[in-house]
Structure 1
């Protein structure tokens, strides 16, 4: 009996120690809030800077519903664990952040913790925002205090058990999150460091272009190596692989054009990236766009295995190629040309197109099935778009025509199988 009591006591001590350890890990790097509220009297310049920084962080992308009040929240962010709803960031005292101080807002960005101390879900990308400076955090807060208060209540998250619990979130944070801050590289020029700050911090590019583990955490060591965007089924290509979306060999002006206009002589954007350009990067200054381009161009390239061409030509099924050729002639050639040459300034060439030849076929299937459209920007106000063909082609037809495109006009990518494009 005494031995059993000792065992239970030891287990209780271990559980208490583990709980205290979790608390300590979730408080690391967190400055205590001021005991008394401090005055916050922003200048017009600070408010304007905050407006600009909110655009750089694409805050409205998650915190503004289509047709809804600006920054009133309500957007459902689908994850493999359920739906997280973005909160109301307007200065409404009850529904929004009207009672938050600048210190509360900074703690949310830097530590992922709400005003009342609750741990926030990383669908709010605080693992990236932790690199945002206090000065920029205060500027964004100053701007948000000027938007119209909206009484839109925050919606409860819909997460499967145990993912919707604070203890589970505390364990996740202990495993995968450490508060940080941006540290400039003294060996790099100021422009490169500014680009790194925007890409790794406010821009939170790794949220899409990073690889995630089974618990949804980004693999920081892999950097911007590409990854499937959960639930949305779009693949955000690697930004450091020439065969995907690396820009090391691009002219800086072409990278800037892509971020500002959504299109450039070297490529164009569709899917979730089109929304990023529309809501965020088209509004950035030339200096910041140049800085981002400089940083992206100097990303370490992927390993040789990622860049190596196939050892021998891919074997093709004659029947698949014939069926694909017929579909292409009927549905695609009018815009993309008989030889996949496209039309400059309107329809992209498919011959030699790295989006066509990329290992992942996810985006090709999405564009063919649902259509794809460039963002309307000042530099490209009336972009051409790709109509959807999901109502015309079944899964076999999509597989056939994509296999034909990936094996014609010098393209030599593997064919697309029906299993790769099964409808959800």
Structure 2
């Protein structure tokens, strides 16, 4: 009996110590909030905040289709359930009209709401924690200046135990540390500005970094590419020339890709097209160039060549050639050469030969649409083929383009096409 009581006592003590550690880790760096508002808003500060809110792409998540800007309510699907974005308008009952700039800063920097609740990292505070207080204040001043919307915040629809503050506290204790910009003394001011934008407001690692089973990223794998949860698009590695690295590009071409969505070496599709449309096309020339310089300076991954597998079956290639001739050659050319300024080349296109063929399959299923930008206001697009082509046809034609005109990559199976359809209900 004494041994049992001793074991129980030890277990309770261990739980108490663990709970205290979780609480302590979740309070790291937090300071008492001032009792009154100290921020003095000015037109210049509001204007700067509007620009920074675009850089952070805040409207994309905090606005529903057809809804009031920043009124929240958009459902963000995660592997753990749906998180609904909050109302950021100055409505006092449902928005942030009753907040202070210090409370807003705490949300950005520490991931904690006005009432003290821990926020879910679908709001990318693991990145926003690097945003400066000055920039946070500017964004707050801008949000306080927009029309108020009385849209009530929708409750999240997360599964147990992910819907509990206790589970979120443990996650944060394991994976979140409040941060700050860390300029590199050996780099230029332009490079450091780019690092600040890419890693902070731009939160590029949120998509371009793989996540573990609990949805967390690690600095050690930053920019190495990752499948975007639920959306089922692969965000390619930004530090690998065979994926989406831009180290060998002209800096002006990287700037063009960020601001217009197109460059001589490639164009953006899928979720990145929305990022360019809503966010990066509005970058100042100086900031776009700074981001380009930083991205070009990323340490590069070693290219591990794909294992040479068996050649695709002749019947699959023949079927793919027939589909290509009927539906693809008119735009992409008989030799996959494309048409400069209109339709991308498939020959030598690294997006076609990615080890993970998810994006290629999704483009064929859903179509490919470039963002309409000031620098490319009327882009060409590719129609969807999900209702016209069978899984076998799509597997055959994607296998063909991955193994023609000098391209070499593993073939695509019908099961991969089926999964791409099912994951988004196509």
TM value normalised by structure 1 = 0.97
Judged with a 3 Å threshold, the aligned counterparts in structure 2 of structure 1 residues 314 and 12 are, in CA distance, closer, same or farther, namely closer
Q: Mapping of 1:196-235 within 5 angstroms?
A: 196-235=195-234
Q: Which residue of 2 aligns with 1:90?
A: 89
Q: Mapping of 1:137-156 within 5 angstroms?
A: 137-156=136-155
Judged with a 3 Å threshold, the aligned counterparts in structure 2 of structure 1 residues 414 and 6 are, in CA distance, closer, same or farther, namely closer
Shift of 1:99: 1.1
8 Å CA contact 2:242–2:303 kept in 1: the answer is no
8 Å CA contact 1:346–1:384 kept in 2: the answer is yes
8 Å CA contact 2:79–2:229 kept in 1: the answer is yes
Shift of 1:417: 1.1
What are the superposed Cα offsets for residues 351-409 of structure 1, whole Å, 9 maximum, x if unpaired?
11111111110001110001110000011111000100011111111000011111111
Q: Which residue of 1 aligns with 2:367?
A: 371
> Residue 355 of structure 1 aligns to a residue in which SS?
coil
CA distance in 1, matches of 2:309, 2:392: 23
Match of 1:394 among 390, 394, 408: 390
Q: Mapping of 1:9-408 within 5 angstroms?
A: 9-34=9-34, 36-305=35-304, 308=305, 315-408=311-404
Shift of 1:10: 3.1
Question: Structure 1 unaligned runs (5+)?
Answer: none
Shift of 1:416: 0.7
CA distance in 2, matches of 1:341, 1:289: 29
Shift of 1:414: 1.2
What are the superposed Cα offsets for residues 254-299 of structure 1, whole Å, 9 maximum, x if unpaired?
0000000011111100100000000000011000000000000111
CA distance in 1, matches of 2:78, 2:309: 39
What are the superposed Cα offsets for residues 111-150 of structure 1, whole Å, 9 maximum, x if unpaired?
1000000000000000000000001001100110001110
Shift of 1:33: 1.3
CA distance in 2, matches of 1:333, 1:2: 81
CA distance in 2, matches of 1:94, 1:312: 61
8 Å CA contact 2:240–2:303 kept in 1: the answer is no
More moved, 36-45 vs 24-33 = 36-45
Shift of 1:2: 4.7
Shift of 1:73: 0.4
CA distance in 2, matches of 1:408, 1:239: 25
More moved, 24-33 vs 36-45 = 36-45
CA distance in 2, matches of 1:267, 1:102: 41
CA distance in 1, matches of 2:46, 2:357: 43
Judged with a 3 Å threshold, the aligned counterparts in structure 2 of structure 1 residues 344 and 11 are, in CA distance, closer, same or farther, namely same
Shift of 1:313: 8.0
Aligned residue pairs total 420
8 Å CA contact 1:321–1:403 kept in 2: the answer is yes
8 Å CA contact 1:336–1:348 kept in 2: the answer is yes
CA distance in 1, matches of 2:261, 2:352: 18
8 Å CA contact 1:313–1:412 kept in 2: the answer is no
Shift of 1:39: 3.0
> Residue 175 of structure 1 aligns to a residue in which SS?
helix
8 Å CA contact 2:226–2:235 kept in 1: the answer is yes
CA RMSD of aligned residues (A): 1.2
CA distance in 2, matches of 1:361, 1:271: 14
CA distance in 2, matches of 1:194, 1:52: 15
CA distance in 2, matches of 1:232, 1:4: 50
Shift of 1:311: 7.0
8 Å CA contact 2:91–2:150 kept in 1: the answer is yes
8 Å CA contact 1:243–1:354 kept in 2: the answer is yes
